[in-house]
Every structure is written in structure tokens, then in C-alpha cells.
Amino acid sequence: MRLLHLLSAVLLFPSALTSFVAAADTPESVQLDNDYDESLLLKTLPGNSVLASFRFVSNGTFNDHHHTVFPRSLAQILEHSNARELHLKFSLGRWDAEQWGAQIWDGHTGGGTGVELWAWVEADDDAAADKRWTTLTNALSGLFCASLNFIDSTRTIRPVLSFQPEGHHANPDRLHLLHGGLPREPVCTENLTPFLKLLPCKGRAGISSLLDGHRLFDAQWQTMSIDVKPVCNSDGSQCRLQVVQTVDMVLDVERSLQRRDSPVPKPRPLDQLNCDPTRSYGSGDNCFPQSNLADLPWSLSEIFGRPLHGSCPLGTTDVCVVAPADRQVFASQASAEIKTGDKRCYTLPQKSDFDLLLPRQSPPLPIEVTPPPLYASRSFTGHGQERGGVQAVIRNPSPTETVKMIYLESLPWFMKPYLHTLKTTIPNSLVDLYYRPNLDRQRGAHLEAALEIPPNSTLTLTYDFDKSVLRYTEYPPDANRGFDIAPAVITTDKGYQIRTTSLLLNLPTPDFSMPYNTIILSSTVMALAFGSVFNLLVRRLVGAEEVPLRGQKLRGLVAKIKRLGEGKRKAE
Amino acid sequence: MKLRITTPIPTLLFTLFALLLQLSCVHSQHTSNWAVLVSTSRFWFNYRHLANVLSMYRTVKRLGIPDSQIILMLADDVACNPRNVFPASVFNNADRGLDLYGDNIEVDYRGYEVTVENFIRLLTDRVEPDTPRSKRLLTDDRSNIFVYMTGHGGNEFLKFQDAEEISAFDIADAFEQMWEKKRYHQMLFMIDTCQANTMYSKFYSPNILATGSSKLDQSSYSHHADNDVGVAVIDRYTYYNLEFLENNVKNASSKHTMKDLFDSYDTKKIHSDPGVRTDLFHRNLDEVLITDFFGNVQNVETDGVGEDEKWKVDVSELARLAANITSPKKQQKEIKVEELKGKAEKKISAFKVEEKASWTQGVVGATALVACALAWFGGSFMPK
């Protein structure tokens, strides 16, 4: 025990020293950010929802053995697998663009449903890159408690247009971009736990103390993302590795407040319902509930279920609220407010709890929502178990601007698209098309299309595909549920990224008791065949007239006895 | 001459005695504790199996086994299942006093990863080279292992994921291989499933203590249901095991023995006949502490003679370590195997699909057509 203490003291001391020295001798060359920053952005959304965006930025060195705030476990994995830039996303739910508008951070923190991972791996050739990618996915699966090791060659693609490296790389020619996703992967507390452990304050202080799995996974939409990239200052002399961890979620205020009162959501009694009197059938006992006529009051500790434990002493912490300028916001004492437009930011106290309160606002204030550059949805068409079609509907709401975008689709190998059936409803909208056909059990199809959508119009992209029949052992244990197809990724030329929802593909599913039925049926046939042949061989066939009639023997016996008796009498 | 002969005898005797002493102590010696906790059932209505396993997870964690030495296998996700009214929570009691999922949990194998193959690979450590440490059972011949399994089973089999089965023979062979590879010191095998006692009937490796919830042709029953969760939340056998552990084994220094635990089993409460197999385990159960399997080894440092010496040894050891730490560059040069820093070869890529109507294509097409026509005409004019 003592040895451990001494060891930790020795290990910690030089690291503390280096960070101190670094801060002291490079004051002017630090356009590079601080070692650690965290910020929480809260934004009221229409329909009594609140968007909470947590952002943690840590900077560290890559090849050094001293890790101050940069998570060491992650650095080791990156070094071991030669990954130079990494993006990992865990997401649940759907971003309702119609109601909430454009996604925060231009959609760069949001991933596809389940888990999505892409990385730039440095390697000599494709085979080496594949090997390192496998190392990376396996290591990450251990670190984040997710089945990332299932991202094998059938789920990996090399996108051409959609993703560009964000960091400053020394030799970009040697980087291989690999991308994979697991749309079926559940996201839960076991993924949040390692996520929080990467943070310097480990969820004990600062904004991360608000993060509670019980509220995060109760959200309407949530995403956790980890982005690692090297960043250099302007002359490229000093480079550091930056990890940006974000958690974005949309909380339903009404639901969160209900959780506080009773853990089980129960319908409200009739007298507390907000009935719509304009409905003709809404009289007496009937009630047509109407959305809330007021902005509900909420506070940080109420919607997150726990208070914010001061700021993280290892870096700067700030909390900002974006709400209509007229809405009142109360912050707890010992915090200063800085107001810019409809954004209000607060500095946090060091060692005491912090809370924010937004009181009830009736009637609700109109909330301005920035429309996204595109709306997108994707669905299956067709019927039957043999073939089907995919239809992606993409709408450009802008009245003046043409939007250039890239549509990326990564399909599993058992979904075989026909490229000649790829059609767009707007003529000449297809600018470029990249395609890599699937190979059974080896790789999935990869489709990337550069499209142009004129202002105020809707583009429908369709294609047909064939469904493969899997082998008996290739079906998952819950095959009848269907197979999840990864979301399509849409990237506009201005860098905004959206993802469609994942799809559920039904494949022809055998009856899994089939082998047993087959065994039973064939056994029956064999038994019948064997039985009849055996009968023929062993039984002796006798003609009907050859067989003595029934009772003939008895009668013969009786006759004999009679004859005997007669003989005796004669003898007497 | 006489002296020369007699001197070795006492020393020999002494060493023999010391050896014997060591041998007699060897049974209680283990240096680490590991737990393998497996829930093999998929689907929401098997909620109770996950709750069983998570209850055991909380218990071993409470008694000091760290997450790095617990292999938790959950075949399905119930905590964040859309059907769960309490997101990110799993309860094992209708009073919902304790959230088993909590704030800090590490699931090592989950979902489709929980297969018979992975389970046996884990036990025998025959894993893929890239497997991370958290997914491996890194035990040695001084490790005590607690294996807990729950799911749906039958006579000598246990179902995994509702799709495949592990048989009693498979587990027995895997344990034998572990013994041969010196992967455990002692093992406690606990299983809660229908006809559970048949699952350990085939074991033949030494130092395994086994217990199960029900005998052949007997079902294992659930304890009670929570109406808000909507399904049964725990099985009887696990419930009464937990009850004993919660009420009696309060901390890692508890002196309760496995005998106390086994004596607490009550057929009337459990509704089935729990079994215990001790023939492979050569120790008296009233000497085996529950914490030998459920808790972690407690390293206790005693103050006493030679403390100053130890301190000096520690310091010299640290100085050695520090010397290694402060000169990492030398090491780096040895390790780094530099690759060719040329441009990487990238052959795998999606190809560009292009439709070009160039005149050369037209000419080629027309020529081909004309050639075909000529050949046909030529053929029809050929003399017969």
C-alpha cells in the first residue's frame, strides 16, 4: 500500500511539473487552447423541450509518456493502432428537425442510431490498414463496453467524399479512412461509465456531475461523441492531440418533472388535463388534451435529478443558456452573468453547488428555430421476401439557395442493390456517383452520390435491391425481429451533417425448428422403408387355401375322440 | 566424523517440517479473486435473469472484487430497453430500493457476444489476439474464481440466447482444461436454472465447489414480480442467497463460511431442492469463508520488525522505477520499428460510375454490328 502511495507520488509529480512548465514558458504561442475546457449549453426548444449540450475539450501530447488531462487509456489505444484521427458516436432516438430545427454543432456530434465509428489510420497499404482497424475496434470495444469488435470487413467501408480529416496531419498521403457502424447496438450506462472516466473530473465536479444515466437515457434524443484529432498552431511547430467529448440530449421538461413526482409515468387526473374546448367531442367526460399553454418552469437540478457540483478545478467551466430574451433566468448566488443577445453565460463557483431556474412563462414565448439546410428521411418500398427498394426523400427548404450534398449509404452484404435502378426525381441532380459492389459474406455495398438540390424542392432517390438468403447459422438469435440497416449520412458542401434513421429489413427467415422436423421426417421415411423391406424378407407368405381353417383342428380332435369312443364301444 | 553426519539431519527435518506446514496452509492461499457472471437469456420477459446476475455483480463488487476482475456477460439489454419504464435501471425487488444498474457498471460481453463459444474461449483463454484485457479471464493457479450462471436450462444443458446450448460436459471439459493450464486455485460454481444440479454432475476437475438451485426434473422458480416493470424480477434461489449475503456478510472481513450459506437453504422457501457438490473440493466447508469466493483478497500490512528495512527496499525499488521513467527516450528507440515512410498504397476504393457518350464508343458499336451482319450474310451466301 505504502509502495503504491509512494509510486503514485513519484508518477504524479513530474507530470504536474511538466504541465506547470508548459504553462510558464509558452505564454504567447498558446493559440492552442487550455489543457482542459468544459462548457454546457442549454437551449429551450419548442414544445417544452430543452437541449443540453455538454462539451469537454482536453489537450495532450501524443508520444509523451506523461498524460496530464488527456485520457491515457485512449492515447495508448490510438498509439497502438496507429489511428491518427478518431470519431466515435453513440446515439439513441431521432432528432426531430421539423420541430427543433438545425442540429447543434452542425450535426457533427450526432451519429447514426447505435454506434458509428470512423478513423484515419496510418498504414503502408490496405491490408495493414485493415489489420490496424481490427486492432482499433477490438481495443475500443473493451474500453467502451460496446460490441465494436463486430465491425468487421462486412461492415467497413472507405468513404470517398463524405468525410474529410479535421486535424492537422503530418503525412496525409499515408492515412486510410475507414468507417463502420452498428445500428443495432444498445447505448446504456455501461457506455456512459467509461465515457465519464475519460474526463479529468470523472463526473465528480464541474458540468459532468450533472450527467446521470437515468436522465440521459430517458431523453428524447441523445448522443455521446468522442472526437480525437491532432491540432497544431499556425506555424506547425507545436502539435497536440485534442479530444473533444460531447453529450447532447433533448430532454422533455414535462416528463422530467413527472419523474420527480412519481418514478412511474402515470396519466394525469382529468381535472389537471389541459382540454381543448374547441373540439366538439371534447365535452363532459371526454377531453382532447392540448399541448401546454405555458413554458413550464424548470431548474437544472430538477431536470437532471442532481445538482451541479461547482466547477472542475482542472480547467475552465462555463454554463450558457439560450432562451428568448424576455424569459427570466435566475442563477444561484456566487456566479456572474454575461449576456450577449439571447445567450446568457455564467461562471461557476469553485466549491459550492450551482443551479439555474427558469420560472413559468405564460403564455409561452415564441422560440426562433433555425431551419436546417436539408430535411431527410429514408424508407423501404416494395413487398415480399425476395426484393425491395429504398427511397430517400431529401427536401431543401431554402427559397433561394441550391444545396450540394453527398449521400452515403453503407449496406450489409445481404442487401444487394442494382445500380441501374438508381433514380433521382429531379433531372441532372446526380453529379457524381461512387460505388463498390458487395461480395457475399466479405463486404457490403458502398454507395456515395454527390447530388444537387435546387431551391425549395424535394428530391427522391430510389433504388431496388435483392435480399439474400442467409445460411442457417448466420441468423442472429432474434432473427424474426429483422436486420438493422445503418443510417444514410448526408453531408452538405457547407459541412452540415445529418443522418436518417436506421431501417429494419426483413429477410426470409426459416423456421428454426426445421432441422428437427427434417430429422423426424426423414427418420419416419427410413423407418417405413426399412420396416416394409424387413417384413418382406422375414415373413413367410402362405396362400389362403393352404392355411388350415380356424377351428378345423378342434373339430378334428373332437372327431378323433368320437371315433375312439365308438371303437371302445365296438370292442365292448 | 560423527558430527559431519548428524548436522544435516536436523536441518533436513526442519525443512521437511516447514514444507509440511506450507502444504497444510496451501488450501487457504489465493492471491486474487475473479468472478464470471453470466446471464444467458435474451428477451424482455427474462428480465429476472439479468437481475439475478446484476445482484451477484453488486454483491461481489460490494465485497471488494474490482471491475477489472469481474467478467459480466449480459445476453440482452433490459436497462435501456424501450419497454423499461425506468430507463437505465434494473431492480431485483418490487420495493425498488436498489438500482442494480446504478451509475457505475462495466459490461464486458453483451448482446450477441454472449455465446457458448465466447464463454468457453473466455474460460480457457483461447481468444483472438486482439481481445482487450477487459474481455479476458487473466487468472493463474493462485486465483479463486466464482462462476455464476443463470438462464433457461434442462437436464444437463443450459440455453444461450434461446438459440444454442452448452452441455454439462462442455463446462466440465472447459474446467478441466483450466485446471491443466493452472488457471484456477479453487472455484465456486453456482447456477440458477431449471434442473440446475445436473449441470455440475459431470465435473471431474479438483477444487471445485458446486451448487445449484434444483435437482433433476425440478423447475427453478421466480420469486416475485413487479407490476410496474411488468415481469418477474428475481429467481427464488438467487433471492435467498442474496438475502443471506446481505444480512450476514456485511463486509469483506466477515467470518461466515460456505457451510453457513448452504445451511441457510430452505426447500420450502426456494420451492426446489438446491444441491451442493463437495466431493471434488477437499476442504471442510466450515473452514471455507464466503469471502474466499465473493470477496477480494485483503492484503494486510503489519507493523513490526524490519519495518525500516522494508522502507529502504521500497525506496530503492522506486528509484529504479523512476530511473526508467525519466529516461523513456532510450527505450523508445529500441521499441519503435519504423515503417517505410513512402506514400501508402490504396487500392481498395469505390469506383466512379460514369456514363459517357463518346463517339469512339459509337464507332466501336457500329463496327461490331456491321461485322455481325456481314458474317450472317456471308454465311447465308455460302454454297451448301
Q: What is the rounded distance in angstroms from the CA atom of residue A135 to the CA atom of residue A86?
A: 13
Q: Residue B136's closest chain A neighbor by CA?
A: A142
Q: What is the rounded distance in angstroms from the CA atom of residue A155 to the CA atom of residue A410?
A: 8
Q: What is the rounded distance in angstroms from the CA atom of residue A206 to the CA atom of residue A313?
A: 8
Cα dihedral sign for B278, B280, B285, B288? negative
Å from B325 to nearest chain A CA? 8
Could you tell me if B247 and B367 lie in one domain?
no
Q: Which of A138, A136, A141 is nearest to A86 (CA)?
A: A136
Q: Which of B27, B152, B256, B271 is catalytic?
A: B152
CB A142 to CB B131 under 8 A?
A: yes
pLDDT in tens, A4-63: 444 444 343 333 333 333 333 333 333 445 688 999 999 999 888 999 999 999 988 755
pLDDT in tens, A155-185: 999 999 999 999 888 888 899 999 999 999 9
Q: What is the per-residue pLDDT for B16?
A: 54
Contacts of A176 in chain B (CB under 8 A): 344, 346
The pLDDT of residue B172 is above 80 = yes
In this structure, are residues A358 and A327 in contact, taking their beta carbons and an 8 Å threshold?
Answer: yes
Q: What is the rounded distance in angstroms from the CA atom of residue B348 to the CA atom of residue A133?
A: 14
Contacts of A436 in chain B (CB under 8 A): 349-351
Q: In the numeric block, which cell numbers belong to residue A256?
A: 422530467
Chain B touched by A14 (CB under 8 Å): yes
Q: What is the per-residue pLDDT for A26?
A: 34
Helical segments of A68-120, H only? 72-81, 97-100
Q: Given A14, A173, A419, which is nearest B344 (Cβ)? A: A173
Mean model confidence pLDDT for chain B: 85
Strand runs (DSSP E) across A151-288, as ranges? Answer: 156-157, 175-182, 221-232, 239-252
How many residues can be counted in chain A?
572
CB B350 to CB A448 under 8 A?
A: yes
Could you tell me if B132 and B270 lie in one domain?
yes
Mean model confidence pLDDT for chain A: 85
* Averaged pLDDT for residues A265-291: 73
Chain B touched by A176 (CB under 8 Å): yes
In this structure, are residues B65 and A501 in contact, taking their beta carbons and an 8 Å threshold?
Answer: no
Q: Which range (A28-37, A267-276, A380-389) has the least confidence?
A: A28-37
* Averaged pLDDT for residues A72-91: 92
Residue B319 domain-assigned (yes or no):
no
Q: Given B77, B104, B351, which is nearest A188 (Cβ)? A: B77
Chain B touched by A126 (CB under 8 Å): yes
**A565 Cβ neighbours under 8 A, 6+ residues apart:** none
Chain B touched by A194 (CB under 8 Å): yes
Q: Given A138, A158, A187, which is nearest B131 (Cβ)? A: A138
Contacts of B94 in chain A (CB under 8 A): none
In this structure, are residues B21 and B29 in contact, taking their beta carbons and an 8 Å threshold?
Answer: no
Q: Residue A141's closest chain B neighbor by CA?
A: B132
Q: Which helix (H) or strand (E) holds A569?
A: helix A552-571
In this structure, are residues B176 and B120 in contact, taking their beta carbons and an 8 Å threshold?
Answer: no
Instruction: With H, G, I as helix, E, B as strand and everything else as coil, classify residue A210.
Output: helix
Q: Residue A445's closest chain B neighbor by CA?
A: B350
Q: What is the per-residue pLDDT for B15?
A: 56
Å from A433 to nearest chain B CA? 5
pLDDT in tens, B198-253: 999 999 999 999 999 999 999 999 999 999 899 999 999 999 999 999 999 988 88
Chain A residues 30-89 within an 8 A CB cutoff of chain B: 63, 65
Bond prior to A289 in cis (omega within 30° of 0): no
Query: Best-predicted range by mean pLDDT among A20-29, A188-197, B17-26?
Result: A188-197
Q: Given B132, B340, B351, which is nearest A138 (Cβ)? A: B132
* Averaged pLDDT for residues B328-339: 48
HSE at residue B344, side-chain half, CA atoms within 13 A, is 21
The pLDDT of residue A512 is above 70 = yes
CB B42 to CB A173 under 8 A?
A: no
pLDDT in tens, B256-291: 999 999 999 999 999 999 999 999 998 899 999 999
In this structure, are residues A39 and B350 in contact, taking their beta carbons and an 8 Å threshold?
Answer: no
* CATH number for B166: 3.40.50.1460
Q: Given A63, A126, A434, which is nearest B346 (Cβ)? A: A126
Chain B touched by A269 (CB under 8 Å): no
Supply the range of the domain harboring residue B217: 31-294
* Averaged pLDDT for residues A517-525: 94
Q: Which helix (H) or strand (E) holds A49?
A: strand A49-60
Å from A150 to nearest chain B CA? 9
Q: What is the per-residue pLDDT for A23?
A: 35
The number of C-beta contacts closer than 8 angstroms across A and B is: 167
Cα distances (angstroms) measured from residue A83 to each of A49, A64, A544, B283: 38, 16, 91, 52
The pLDDT of residue A96 is above 70 = yes
Residue B256 domain-assigned (yes or no):
yes
Q: What is the rounded distance in angstroms from the CA atom of residue B300 to the CA atom of residue B277?
A: 32
Q: What is the rounded distance in angstroms from the CA atom of residue B72 to the CA atom of residue B57?
A: 8
Q: What is the per-residue pLDDT for B198?
A: 94
Q: What is the per-residue pLDDT for A115?
A: 95
Looking at per-residue pLDDT, the higher value among A486 and B22 belongs to A486
Could you tell me if B55 and B189 lie in one domain?
yes
Contacts of B343 in chain A (CB under 8 A): 173-174
Residue B152 annotated in active site: yes
Residue type, position A119, single letter: A
Residue B312 domain-assigned (yes or no):
no
Q: What is the per-residue pLDDT for B303?
A: 54
Chain B touched by A306 (CB under 8 Å): no
- Counting residues of chain B whose pLDDT is more than 70, the rounded percentage is 84
Chain B touched by A567 (CB under 8 Å): no
Q: What is the rounded distance in angstroms from the CA atom of residue A293 to the CA atom of residue A270?
A: 16
The pLDDT of residue A258 is above 50 = yes
Contacts of A212 in chain B (CB under 8 A): 103
Residue B194 annotated in active site: yes
Chain B touched by A145 (CB under 8 Å): yes
Chain B residues 237-296 within an 8 A CB cutoff of chain A: none
Q: What is the rounded distance in angstroms from the CA atom of residue B48 to the CA atom of residue B222?
A: 8
ipTM rounded to 2 decimals? 0.82
The pLDDT-based confidence of B384 (bands split at 50, 70, 90) is: low
Q: What is the dihedral of CA A318, A319, A321, A325, to 10 degrees?
A: -50
Q: What are phi and psi of A46, to 5 degrees?
A: -60, 155
The domain boundary residue, chosen from B269, B294, B319: B294
The domain boundary residue, chosen from B294, B325, B360: B294
The pLDDT-based confidence of B5 (bands split at 50, 70, 90) is: very low
Q: What is the distance in angstroms between the CA of the first residue and the CA of the last residue of chain A? A: 126
Contacts of B342 in chain A (CB under 8 A): 124
The pLDDT-based confidence of A568 (bands split at 50, 70, 90) is: low
The pLDDT of residue A301 is above 50 = yes
Chain A touched by B1 (CB under 8 Å): no
For residue A487, how many other CB atoms are within 10 A of its CB?
26
Instruction: With H, G, I as helix, E, B as strand and everything else as coil, classify residue A313.
Output: coil
Could you tell me if B238 and B363 lie in one domain?
no
- Counting residues of chain A whose pLDDT is more than 90, the rounded percentage is 51
Chain B touched by A283 (CB under 8 Å): no
Q: What is the rounded distance in angstroms from the CA atom of residue A524 to the CA atom of residue A518?
A: 10
Domain with CATH 2.60.40.1170 in chain A: 375-505
Q: What is the rounded distance in angstroms from the CA atom of residue B283 to the CA atom of residue B25?
A: 11
In this structure, are residues B38 and B150 in contact, taking their beta carbons and an 8 Å threshold?
Answer: yes
Contacts of B299 in chain A (CB under 8 A): 1
Chain A touched by B319 (CB under 8 Å): no
Q: Residue A409's closest chain B neighbor by CA?
A: B350
Q: What is the per-residue pLDDT for A35?
A: 83
Question: The pTM is what?
Answer: 0.82
The pLDDT-based confidence of A483 (bands split at 50, 70, 90) is: very high
Å from B222 to nearest chain A CA? 23
The pLDDT of residue B313 is above 50 = yes
Could you tell me if B182 and B288 lie in one domain?
yes
Could you please state the CATH topology (level 3) that the domain comprising A375-505 is classified under.
Immunoglobulin-like (2.60.40)
Contacts of A209 in chain B (CB under 8 A): none
Q: In the numeric block, which cell numbers belong to residue B75?
A: 445476453
Chain B touched by A495 (CB under 8 Å): no
The domain boundary residue, chosen from B294, B329, B352: B294
Q: Which of B30, B49, B185, B194 is catalytic?
A: B194
Q: What is the per-residue pLDDT for A72?
A: 86
Q: What is the per-residue pLDDT for A421?
A: 94
Number of helices (H), then strands (E), belonging to chain A: the values are: 10, 25
In this structure, are residues A176 and B345 in contact, taking their beta carbons and an 8 Å threshold?
Answer: no
Q: In the numeric block, which cell numbers belong to residue A6?
A: 509512494
Contacts of B133 in chain A (CB under 8 A): 142
Could you tell me if B116 and B255 lie in one domain?
yes
How many domains, chain B? Answer: 2
pLDDT in tens, A396-450: 999 999 999 999 999 999 999 999 999 999 998 999 999 999 999 999 999 999 9
The pLDDT-based confidence of B339 (bands split at 50, 70, 90) is: low
Contacts of A122 in chain B (CB under 8 A): 344
CB A187 to CB B80 under 8 A?
A: yes
In this structure, are residues B352 and A434 in contact, taking their beta carbons and an 8 Å threshold?
Answer: yes
Could you tell me if B344 and B289 lie in one domain?
no
Strand runs (DSSP E) across A210-352, as ranges? Answer: 221-232, 239-252, 298-299, 316-322, 330-331, 337-340, 343-347
The pLDDT of residue A527 is above 90 = yes
Q: What is the rounded distance in angstroms from the CA atom of residue B23 to the CA atom of residue B192?
A: 35
Chain A touched by B308 (CB under 8 Å): no
Contacts of B328 in chain A (CB under 8 A): 65
Å from B257 to nearest chain A CA? 28
List beta partners, residue A394: A376, A459
* Averaged pLDDT for residues B99-105: 90
Could you tell me if B379 and B274 lie in one domain?
no
